Amino acid sequence: MMNEKTCILYDRICSDCGECDMCELDPKKRCDNCMKCVQGDAEYRAVYIDRIENNQQKEKN
């Protein structure tokens, strides 16, 4: 059995569509890590983490 990646945007197996690599500000552009999407005058930024996966634990199951 091949190692199948899980899609990070949808509940499915990764199809290598590239949607997760698209720019948040310009959907026609591939992300190049310019960081424009996180710049601004806010005092802080936050990231919501909905789960953490441990690959070692995942392989045991």
Tens digits of pLDDT across the chain (61 residues): 467 889 988 999 999 898 889 988 888 999 998 888 877 777 777 778 888 887 766 556 5
Residue 59 falls within a domain, yes or no? Answer: no
Query: What is the structure's pLDDT at 15?
Result: 92
pTM, 2 dp? 0.49
4 close to 12: Cβ distance less than 8 angstroms: no
Number of domains comprising the chain: 1
Residue 23 falls within a domain, yes or no? Answer: yes
17 close to 8: Cβ distance less than 8 angstroms: no
Domain range for 25 is 1-50
Residue 57 falls within a domain, yes or no? Answer: no
- Give the C-alpha separation, 46 to 61, whole Å: 32
Residue 25 falls within a domain, yes or no? Answer: yes
